[in-house]
Structure 1
Amino acid sequence: MHLALYLSESGVHAGGWRHPRSGMDTGANVELFRRLARTAEEACFDLAFLADKLAVDDVYGGTPDEVLRTRVNVHRDPVVLLTALAGATSRIGLAATASTTYSEPFHVARMFSTIDHVSGGRAAWNAVTSVSDGEARNFSRDAHLDHSTRYDRAAEFLDAVLALWDTWDDDAVVLDRAGATYVDPTRVRRADHSGDWFRVAGPLTLPRSPQGRPVIVQAGASGTFQEVAARTAEVVFAVAPTLERAQDFRAQFRAAVSAAGRDPDSAKVLPGIVPIVADTDAEAQAVERELRSLVHPVAGLTFMSASMNYDLAEHPVDGPVPDVRSELRGSKGRFEYVIGHAIERGITLGELAVEYAASLSFPMLVGSATTVADEMERWYSAGGADGFVIMPAFAPGSVDDFTRLVVPELQARGLFRREYTGRTLRDHLGLVRPSVAKL
């Protein structure tokens, strides 16, 4: 199976930053990220992954006050941070997020091609569409694009980036000193992309990257997302609360990839999981209870509001979960399930907030190494996953626990590598180096 590490100084659990084994401080803490990436590399993870958000969440109550008070909402530029991690590691793949809604194709194509060169072929771009009005207001807009419009833009954005990555042939740089020829101009071409959203001439300003193209990662659950990802995604960061949903998503997505004319094995589906691991099941359960006690309900409400792009402050915390599925303007696929499932169970909005703040609706695997590995093997063997994105509850403690306890158990079962056999991220993932698509 493939393993990716979700890099976060606070962890994904809203109580994680308050845990005594958290590495939180008040500074940039770049060394913590280096340490996490090196720990994952020592455990032979395929890649490390940096998410991003382009605003301090301010949807809940219309201000960022409660967000700033109750949970960590710090987002550094992930591409800049990735360059620091490239110098601190030598084998693990490195993925960073860049928005197709608030970036330009040439900018993104050049950034990630540069990182692929700097890292020796280990770069991946997590292509997202962003989610909230708060992000829009940081880019001269009053509101975020609606769901279908931003995916239309994303589809064309990806086409333009791919075209730019293919503007140089692999052998374009001839370096003929005697003949005074550095680059053979017949092996470089313009992209000349012209569409509804973008006009990009090209060519890119640097040679083709070591992997041919950086690996494309996409995350989402909606049908609109799948239409775009089926054509382009090579790694999918999936949200699947149950094995059954994971199986359905992977089967449907692989069928969509095939229908798009691609080999289904060229797209790896990695559901996120939140493992809480200790030497025994009882110890892990005690850690989970401790973390839950550290969650402030408002932390969950602020996170949900920003991700949904809907203000939950309009509803009483001790009242029923409101059915606002038709009003979602942010992340749709995930929250249609989260809200529907909560309504079915009859829980309050505050109870849902604590649940969501703990796991972000990803499955939480709590137990010993054997217990956690058993569940991961069950999902993998049953066709629910090609591997997993490991989302630490807190860092660095959760990362240390998983790599110390679970990784050796997976290796002993023959489910995970003991050493790297290739140099590039495509090597780790078993992906073919793409040939140049002639424009």
Structure 2
Amino acid sequence: MSSANRGNQRSGQMSLGMNMLGFGAHLGAWRKAELAATAHLDIEHYQHIARLSERGCLDAVFLADWSALAGDVSNQPVGHLDPAIVLTAVAAATQRIGVIATASTTYNEPYNIARRFASLDHVSRGRAAWNAVTNASDDAAQNFGLGGAPLHVDRYARADEFIDVTLKLWDSWEDDAIIGDARTGQFADPRKVRPIDFVGQHFSVKGPLNVPRSAQGRPVLVQAGSSEGGKALGSRYADAIFTTQTTLDAGQQFYREMKERAVRWGRNPEHLKIMPGLSTVIGSTEAEAQARFDDLNAWHGEHGLLDLVAGRFGIPASELDPDAPLPWDRIGAVADFERGSQGFLEAQLNLARQENLSVRQLSRRILVGHRLVVGTPEQVADTLAEWFLAHAADGFNIMPDMFPSGVEAFVDEVVPLLRKRGLFRHEYTGSTLREHLGLPFPVNQYRPRS
């Protein structure tokens, strides 16, 4: 165990989510042919990954989203099914695991999002969560009548109000509003179903929602931004934060900051779960894991790896020297990065700076922008335990390199090691996602009328 853990005492167990990224976290995974080239459009693929994850008693499966056709159609599988629809089918094919779907606050309206996720929560019997994102893509903006993505500050101002309205809609029914007395003919108490009559800068919503409260009260709210705007939003509203932290020091700093921010909002910091992403490449030995990783890199190609770095930092690949450090003088301040993900950018810059990585080295470390571990099940378990015990995470959003073998390796080889250390559950003890995450039943913000 790393020296970072010595002297650390922590009770409880970590949370684990499985990120269902198409063919896996590595862009070369589809060419390994574990799956058909159109597997990302096949619901049975997602159901299989969810069942594997449920076999390991993971808290939830997670599905990201894009509001535009992302990627080059000539050399990689593209196309993204609507996460809420996919996870509705996944919920029907599973029993206990949570389902976390992404939807944008930039290109939706609060009422339709509140209804969609309340419906998913009922369909799943209290296992649903909404991952609220703001979308930074110009391509997406142009699909919704805009010339380009709104500026960072504007996206987050809208998101703040959007989430506030959505929570009000979810609370527009009290928990005991439904009476359901067929004998008297009374279905619900109208005093406990009320409009929200919200009028703000961005939205005007009368309410109430046309979906009652669910088994877990309301869907779990997840937020996935690590910029200043994202941190303000997440610390105020989120039940869990998916974050990208690539070094232990940065992870500990982010963890402390978000817990402190939650306290300043009057929240119990234990009710805000910090869950950084971790990309995994697992082999029975280090050499086997490295060979698997090298093989995936070869399938994606050297040019593809450099394009990945170039795209992240907005610098043409032809202007990058693969064996030199990043051109720091051309990157500028993270705060000036108005239309992209500031959190991803900062995490990758921190990694490159701290380890003095060349462009080529960095291209093999960032994959989908999260921390990467290439190693044995024991090494993966070690790093999960290290971050958890060092108060850098409450749990993790796992991103295997390739499906389904990467999921099988994590569930069958890493999870048992965590159980032996007392860091993860042996079986589900609850039925809702809130119970899996150790979150309390949410109090309705509207007090009962006298």
**Quick check: 1:121–1:209 contact (8 Å CA) kept in 2?**
yes
Residues paired across the two proteins, number: 427
Query: 1:436 maps to which residue?
Result: 444
**Quick check: 2:275–2:397 contact (8 Å CA) kept in 1?**
yes
Tell me: CA distance 1:306–1:167, structure 2 relative to 1, closer, same or farther (3 Å): farther
Among 310, 314, 319, the alignment partner of 1:316 is: 319
Superposition deviation, residue 295 in structure 1: 2.3
Secondary structure of residue in 2 paired with 1:220: coil
Q: Deviations over 1:177-220 (max 9, x none)?
A: 33322221111100111110000110000211221110001112
Superposition deviation, residue 436 in structure 1: 1.1
Normalised by the length of structure 2, the TM-score is: 0.89
Tell me: CA distance 1:346–1:415, structure 2 relative to 1, closer, same or farther (3 Å): closer
**Quick check: 1:23–1:32 contact (8 Å CA) kept in 2?**
no
Superposition deviation, residue 336 in structure 1: 3.3
Superposition deviation, residue 240 in structure 1: 0.7
Does the alignment pair 1:331 with 2:341?
yes
* 1:410 partner letter: L
Among 163, 166, 183, the alignment partner of 2:168 is: 163
Tell me: CA distance 1:31–1:212, structure 2 relative to 1, closer, same or farther (3 Å): same
Among 68, 71, 78, the alignment partner of 1:55 is: 68
Tell me: CA distance 1:354–1:249, structure 2 relative to 1, closer, same or farther (3 Å): same
Among 413, 422, 426, the alignment partner of 1:418 is: 426
Superposition deviation, residue 397 in structure 1: 1.1
Secondary structure of residue in 2 paired with 1:395: coil
Q: Distance in 2 between matches of 1:199 and 1:40?
A: 40
Does the alignment pair 1:268 with 2:273?
yes
Secondary structure of residue in 2 paired with 1:94: strand
Among 235, 240, 259, the alignment partner of 1:235 is: 240
Aligned-residue CA RMSD (Å): 2.2
Secondary structure of residue in 1 paired with 2:316: helix
Query: 2:44 maps to which residue?
Result: 31
Query: 1:406 maps to which residue?
Result: 414
Among 88, 93, 96, the alignment partner of 2:98 is: 93
Which structure 2 residue ranges, 5 or more long, are not aligned?
1-13
Query: 2:387 maps to which residue?
Result: 379
Q: Distance in 1 between matches of 2:95 and 2:416?
A: 21
Single out whichever of 400-409 and 27-36 deviates more from structure 2: 27-36
Single out whichever of 184-193 and 326-335 deviates more from structure 2: 326-335
Query: 1:187 maps to which residue?
Result: 192
Secondary structure of residue in 2 paired with 1:366: strand
Q: Deviations over 1:52-95 (max 9, x none)?
A: 011123xxxxxx6xx22343432110011111101100100000
Q: Distance in 1 between matches of 2:270 and 2:354?
A: 36
Equivalent residues in 2 for 1:100-119, closer than 5 Å? 100-119=105-124
Q: Distance in 2 between matches of 1:146 and 1:379?
A: 33
Q: Deviations over 1:7-30 (max 9, x none)?
A: 123111122222243454367221
Tell me: CA distance 1:353–1:56, structure 2 relative to 1, closer, same or farther (3 Å): farther
Q: Distance in 2 between matches of 1:26 and 1:381?
A: 37
Q: Deviations over 1:304-343 (max 9, x none)?
A: 67666x4x33852437644233452211122134246547
Percent identity between the aligned chains? 40
Q: Distance in 2 between matches of 1:343 and 1:316?
A: 19
Among 191, 207, 210, the alignment partner of 2:215 is: 210
* 1:107 partner letter: N
Tell me: CA distance 1:260–1:268, structure 2 relative to 1, closer, same or farther (3 Å): same
Q: Deviations over 1:274-325 (max 9, x none)?
A: 12112222211221221222223554566567666x4x33852437644233
Q: Distance in 2 between matches of 1:17 and 1:264?
A: 40
Which structure 1 residue ranges, 5 or more long, are not aligned?
58-63
Tell me: CA distance 1:399–1:210, structure 2 relative to 1, closer, same or farther (3 Å): same
Q: Distance in 2 between matches of 1:27 and 1:238?
A: 24
Normalised by the length of structure 1, the TM-score is: 0.91
